[in-house]
Amino acid sequence: MAYQLANLERDGKVAILTLNRPEKRNALNTALRDEIRAALEELEADDAISIAVITGAGPVFCAGFDTSEFATVSPAEVFAGESSRRYHHRLQHFDKPLVAAVNGPAMGGGFDIATLCDIRIAAEGAAFGHPEIKFGAPTLFGPLAAIIGGGIARDLCLSGRRVEAQEAWRIGLVSKVVPTEHLLDEAKTVARTIAEAPAATLRSVKTNILEATPWKFGE
Residues labelled catalytic: 132
**Within 13 Å of residue 82, how many CA atoms lie on the same side as its CB?**
0
Bridge partners (DSSP) listed for residue 106: 62, 128
Within 10 angstroms of residue 209's Cβ, the number of other Cβ atoms is 12
Task: Return d(Cα 81, Cα 83) in angstroms, integer.
Answer: 6
Task: Return d(Cα 178, Cα 174) in angstroms, integer.
Answer: 11
Within 10 angstroms of residue 11's Cβ, the number of other Cβ atoms is 12
Bridge partners (DSSP) listed for residue 145: none
Answer whether 117's CB lies under 8 Å from 99's CB: yes
Say which residues have a Cβ less than 8 Å from residue 2's Cβ, sequence separation at least 6: none
User: How is 80-106 classified by DSSP, letter by letter?
Assistant: HSHHHHHHHHHHHH-SS-EEEEE-SEE
